[in-house]
Structure 1
Amino acid sequence: MDLAVTSIPKKGDQILQDAINSFRTVLTPEQLAEFECIQSVPDTDAVLVFTAELDLRRQNQKGKSIASRLFPVLQSVHSFTSVIDTFVSSNPTIAALIWGSVKMTMTIMLNAASYYEAFVELCMELGRMCPRFEQYHALFPASERLQEALCAFNACIIQCCRRVIAMPKSSSGWTSPLNPLNPSFWQSFQQVFESDLQKLRDHSKNVNKEIRLAADQSQHRNNELQRLENEQADRSRRSLSRFISRTRDDFDTMHRLQIMRSEEVERENNQKLLDSLSSYDYIKPLKQARQKRYPKSAEWIFSTDEFKRWVDGTTPGLLWCSGKMGSGKSIICASVIDYLLTKRSSGRSHVTFFFSRFDDSESMRAETILRALARQLVTVQDVSGHTKRALEIIQNAPEDISLELSQFLTRLLSRKGPPLWVILDGIDECQREERKIVIKVLRSMLDDGVNARLFITSRDHATSVFKGHYANLEQVSMHCSLAQNGMAQLVDQAVQQCLDAEELLVSDQSLISEIKNTLTQQADGMILWVILTLRHLCSQPNNERIREAIAFMNLPRNLTDIFNRILHRTITDEKDDIVQALLPWIVAAKQPLTLSQLEECCLISPLQEYTIRDRFVNGIHLVDTWFQGLVEIDYETKTVHFIHTCVRQFFLTASDNPAFSKFHVRIQDADRHIGDICVTYLNFNDFKTTLARVRPPLPPIAPDEICQRALSSEWNWPRFLRLSQKMRGHKRRVANIDVTIASCTKTPDATVQETILLDHPFLAYASAHWLSHSIHFDQEHCQTWSLWKNMLMCGNELAASPVSEENHRTIDGALVLWATQNRHSALLDVVATSAELIKQYHPVLFDYVLKESNNNFLLHHMLSTKSLDRELNSLCCRAAYNGCLEVVKTLYEAGVDFNTHGGLSGRPPTLPLIEAAVKGHIKVIEYLLQRGANPNMQTHLYQSALEPAAELGGLEGLQVCRLLIDAGANVRNTNALLRSCARGDREIIKLLLSAGADVNASYPAPQWKLPSVGFRPILDYSHHALTPTHRMTVHLYTKIKRPYYKLSPFQSQKLILLSF
């Protein structure tokens, strides 16, 4: 077996070369000359640039942008060329020609306008078969079989491209049998290429099989290397001469294995380090925004003076674009990105961007935004030196890494050369705290003078977001005069598209013009209003009704008016039941659900025991029709989304019309319902039967091999389900003996798991989000409470854990901490009401109770267990220190004695009154004194609560001292006067003396820190501020030869102070 591979094997190289040569044969002389000029490999952002160029070339044609649908297949080919370019040596241009053949095919088909959309659909089907780069990149160099399989797959893509170009020429020019005017054209186009698609499916399956085999071989090499190393270590303890003579061959083998392993580990670790920075799919929202854009409708912004100055660099580095809800800000963002990619981008000038989506909670986190921006500026080839160290710091940093991310991002954006472009859309979707973090980082970067120019869109004006912190920016409004021209372009194309699709059945040209003029003039900058109003016009049966609908008095006044009309039509069409059933899922899902997931889960009943296919939703692909255009289906992922955040907000707001009350979604109820279904689903008997069936009796296996395979196991259900959704996992893998033993009998290509996932598409979502949807669970309102609680305590093989990559096993410290961080009240309630768990995890719960002191439900549940005793005294002291009055009250009502000492971590026992006095919490002190707290009780640090009050000083300290004296505090048996003198706090000194403090008292040398200059400030204060009517003698007793502090500038043990 070859142990090192430095180039693609001859077979794979020849397969690619043959495919490229075959592709050449269908090109015209002009096309062939252009093809032969291709020499350079594609840049990192080549896919983004090329799809933007395709849309730009297609601007004179009707309809929305569709080039982004080519993205998956282009990205797959692009990723493959990157590894080919790295490891091939026989033909340096082969990577460039692979990319060039696919790119040229798409360019040729763009010119054949009639075939372009059918070709795009074909490419979308092809893209679903493409292997993901992260699956094979680390294994590729060391596996000849995997290399050949990938070469064959990509050669098949080139052959398919060859057929696409040759197909129109094969008959009589660009005519039948595939005539676009033929009604069966789209179906025929698919049928002609079905054989090619089947070949690609077969090659795709083979690639997946070889990936798994290469992974197993890699593990085998590691095991072999470990075996050899162990043998050599054992032999080295014997005769050295015999060892050298007998193991030279083993040394050579071991050396080669070590080199291979070292290179493979470095590739894996670098990619993992890069993935740990961010694996968020930031490109998907760009593709969605592109698909909503009509050609030239957003180009108005390029003509504004503000944009011109921003692009040329003659204006501040930040251009802020504001516009009302539904005005098309995301579309503007996508257009700016494409403009920069095609007009301003260069090999060293990167365009980075991020879209915050209202239906993707992850995209509204500041950390996600900053990580994704940084990830776009780093490639796996950059992971070395300073960049690698910075990535490792971020990976190992504590929870709040905004500072580290800010520094890293600033360094990346400070590179010399052409400016870098940063485009942000929808930061107003983020919560205020998250938005503040993003703005703070951006402001810091701009203050540091980064070599970057920022473009941000938001509903808010920049002044309301920055609030005067950063004024060096320019603003452009979506409501400017130039934007009106863009609106006219959009209306014209949208109306024409409806006419071409025979959705708007109007032949009267004057009426068509009237429709266009009315929509343009009344839109008030809202694209969403135009699209939905036009859809309403399409539903009218005749010209008369259309004219009535566009009359000024009948036009919808705002978006809410449109939404109400849509609900009325929904009820009229008798689709209200299915719409109401689907609404909670679309509103409250943690991430958009696919058509197949909605079809399966929508009508499941809580506590249903198994799959009932008769309950599947029929015709789910018509969901956008049922919702009258308020939802849309993503072409690539087949996920269902609201068309805009305002639609979701509409359904979350109660309607004034009683007829629409059932369309109102209460988010907590919806969240709880989805949680019920997730728990029900994960406990289906279907899975119990299947999992039992894939675990027949085990073949003989040695105990040491069981352990070894457990420690190296890479498969379990949650990990498999995460991969199916490309979910992010950061936690360290732990050994799983049970899963490994069970997996000894699994099929090599994991067909059982894949089949289960195909038959149960909702499984991946339920596994990932069963716990996050149960935050609002309670025994009274949750039908699956007992089932869910059992899953928590005993685990579930299909349920993913939020704190590891393994399935959920039981409640542990990591999960309890996660629950406090995510305010998971239901999980915390289970812990709080369990006598066993509360004893184990009460410190974490105490931290949470103090942090969320306004909500005492958890504390009441903790107290109900009667399992805590002295721990409550400690909690009471902490609550008093933090000023948590409600917690103190709850503890008193539960019987906690305020005069009993409580221990704090790292500190001697203390009392609630003294802790409240330390921080000056007046209301807490008043309550404690009213409920019997003794102001004269001592602790290790203080003789009474007066001492920390005097030490606190100021107005608060004075107020606390008064409260304590009024409650009977003894001023004579404390060193409160000494402490107030040390501070020089005149008002407190007066109060203490007037309350009877002894000016001639003797004090042991204090163990608390005095001012660094000794007593000089006291003397100075005394001589200048006090009247010589009294004298106070303070004897300071020190230990012989070991004073507690230096009496500088005095050496005697008696100090005379002028006093009252």
Structure 2
Amino acid sequence: MSQMISTAAASSRFQLIFNAALKSYQKQTKKDLIAHPLASQLQSCDSTSAILAVLKEQVQEFDQARSGDERLTKWLIPTVNVLYAFSAAVSEGVGLVFSPAKVIFAGIGAAKDVAASKDTLAELFERIGFFFNRLESYTEVAPTAAMTNIITKIIVEVLTIFGIATKELRRGSAKKFLKKLAGRTDLEDAVKKLDRLTQEEARMALAEVLKITHIVRDDVKVVDGKVENIDSKVEDVGNKVDDVGDKVDDVGDKVDDVGDKVDDVGNKVADVGDKVDDVGDKVNDVGDNVVDVGGKVDDVSSKVDDVGGKVQDIGDRVQSVDEKVQVAIDDGKETRVVATEAKSIIQQMANSVDHIQWNQIKQLLRAWLSPTDPSTNHIIARKAQHKGTALWFFRGSIFIEWKSTGSLLWIHGKPGSGKSVICSSVVQDIMAVCDAGSAIMAYFYFDFRDLKKQSLHDLLLSLVFQLSTRFSPCCDILHHVYKTHQDGTRQPSDDTLKECLKDMLRLLGQGPTFIVLDALDECPDSPGIPSPRHEVLELVKELVDLHLDGLHICATSRPEVDIRAVLDPLASRSVSLHNQTGQQTDISDYVRNVVNSSPSTAMRRWRADDRNLVIETLTERADGMFRWVFCQLDTLQHCLPSNLRQFLNELPESLDETYERILRGINKAQKDNARRLLQCLTVAVRPLRVEELAELLAFDFQGSSSGGIPKLKDDWRWDDQEEAVLSTCSSLITIVPDDDSRVVQFSHFSVKEYLTSPRLARSDEDASRFHIDLEAAHTILAQACLGTLLRLDEHADVEGFPLVEYAARYWVDHARYEKVSSRVQVGMDDLFDSSKPHFAAWLRVHDMDVRWSSFSHTERWAVGSPLYYAAFCGFYDLAERLIMKHPEQVNAISGYIVAPLPVALRKGHFGVANLLHKHGAVVDIRDDGERTPLYTASANDRVDVMQWLLDCGADPNAPNDTGCTPLHLAAAHLQLETVLLLLKYKADVNPRDSDGLTPLHDTMFNLPSLPEGQCIDVMQRLLEHGADPNACDNNHSTPLHTASSKGLLEVARVLLSHGANVVEKDGKGRTPFQVASSNGHDEMTKLLLEHGAVAQP
């Protein structure tokens, strides 16, 4: 019965809350839900199961529609009819700055087909269903007013989201709706609000649990109060003893003493007052009462019996009190245990919530930065370590002192001396300390084989992300950078990342923090000022110059001149590997292990003295280079005892000579394949998989067409792809696992270095033919990639083309290298011919435009034109040919970046932009949110693009559909250089957006997230150029109202110094003083009073 009552009560509570939400929604949208046919169904939902049933019905509609017609009006009619009532009043406006979708709708824009997008919408229903499941538990007991308010708000947001979504659904086709949905700022804002409310819901739920704990605690207080009440009643009984005294203050725990002493009352009335003192705290005025008692001795005898009876009654009551107090004490103890356990559970829940939020932020930061993973290199280096290697180093004083006292440790050695192996051991050693919670570490491996591991930018991204995952305050620092970059819509500069890293290291302070960097020499010392390597070395110097006692930096490299010039003065400790006795011992142990355990038939025939001779000779000649020893042992695998001594007498002197011998020894029939394979490995954008490299060997480059595009020979493909690769030059390459595939790479950095060096180019013809010219190597890969893509059509099975994914994604990188595009012009023209199937097939495999969908303000109603993609890639000659052939494409609206000119500017291809402008490209072309390229460039702080546009006549005052101008954006993000540029080109300093806000208002938009000093700098320039300090927005709020509300004291001083009105009233009739006072900003109120404000409540 009680269960039925409880269920009915819960249903009633649910109905009240849900109806309140409907009324709130009706009030906000001015939509009469009662008049809608659905009203009765909605209002009859008295439980979560009823709501969930509606949701499940819609999900079923989705499932049934997966194979149906594309038009959503056919397969979503039930959803539209049910929910369209909520959509009429939804705003069509788009926010000032679009943030990349980090909520559930992020996947819609990138969905490759309608079915995938339907899954995303179904996920929305499921997500809302989770909320209603939680709601059921909240209504089992009467929720607080605050909790009810949160629940009501969430339901309203759910209805709002349904409203926006279904309103768009009624407009037509699935693809258009789904693509547009990803760019809907109002929908994103609604979901973000729902996310915030859900977080508030979680916190409120914790508060509800805490409230229950408080109720339990209060129950203890109630018990204590009842005990006190009983005590007071005992006191009242004592007060009724007429002859004992005028008042008994407190019976207390000593009432028992009254019963023990009552027998003496008759004969010793004068002593009654003294004895009653033991009952309570004190008997007031006992002396006076004794005189009165003495005068009435005759009456005492008759009253003693009455007193005795009353005292007996007191004793009985006290007995009951004792028992109840004991029960209360026992209950109190139990309650306190329950309260303690509840508090512990609450803390665990709070910690879990914090942990979940931290993980969510880390995922957000990872998606924003896309840092490279150094652990792959670490794992490979660990596998290369021979047991016992470098024990001499870790047991030596230099490493021990560095580990305990910090500073810079530089480990250097010749090529192939095992620096990366020692570095991996250092990382492994420090990892053990970090796992014990005694230190924090970030590490990085520079890698000549991976373009994502060769620059300062890649290093900084990796270091700051690693530190953010190790220590939550560091995560807060990086998250702040994310927020100040428009919630990740802009990438951080190297300078920003540097300061972020330094802030993290300063925060870690005196605690041990380890930064380990391997192979600085593999960071290119390429032409340019400064070179990537120089930038990295400058960072190392800046970190050392922080003089942080807890900072330990370890770097490994070759002793190159430029590296030595920087690190020698900085390193308090250094180790040179080539002259270490311990290094020689390691080499000797390595050689001994190989010759004694090799499965080689030839080695197994060696005698003991042969083995010892090999060990001694190689150790002596190695000069500390494991790589040199490895190459000799690889050749010795096939050396019979009869040839052994001759081989050892003719050992090459260096790695260069070793590699030259290997190249000369390549089978003549394989020389062309080997050269092509080495070329591709040298310039590949990412490590090539075995099957990809084997496919490259199946192209007939000799029989290429006139356009230079090779033909793929199916009968040249090998069944055993690894054998195809290794049969060419196995001594110079290696195959290593990489996630779920196997990739081919040079066996050592020194191999690539030698192949591209002038030293090899100067060798005789047999060896120099293998010298790699980078432009020729990029041409080979560009030709192979185009040869693959030009075999595709709308029916092609991409699974049959192992190189297709690499080709579609990276052919542009190779074609853009120097003059490669001119060598593959015919192939490029064929690919960009929209009358042929290849262009669409390429984009089907990899559409480079899609990755910009998250950074775009607009939806993509159509795939970009060939000219759009030529501008995207920066192919000037191709763009010129396409303009001649298709001039209508110059201003055609397509792609996520709207048109060819905006996308050329976004990618920094100013030559192509000039070409397009020359042929009539509109500089103020607008997207569906009325945003011009200048507006977008301002949003992204692209001063270079803005300068180009303004020089070409772009309107500096062109607003978007909410009235926001480029100056509004620049002011909101405190971009001083951008603000000055716009003012230079006569931008209106007092434009108003749809909310009536001016740029001066917007300078405070991101405070306090951004520094107040930056705000003042921008504000000063605006005021100097005529900004109105008393401009009122639609709520009649001035900039001074905003500053007062946020407590921005220095900002207020600037405004006041330029004539801001201190008595201006906003739309609620409040002056800046009242606004500051209501927000508790006392210093602000003092400042305003000093400038003539009137103190008002």
TM-score (norm 2): 0.46
TM-score (norm 1): 0.47
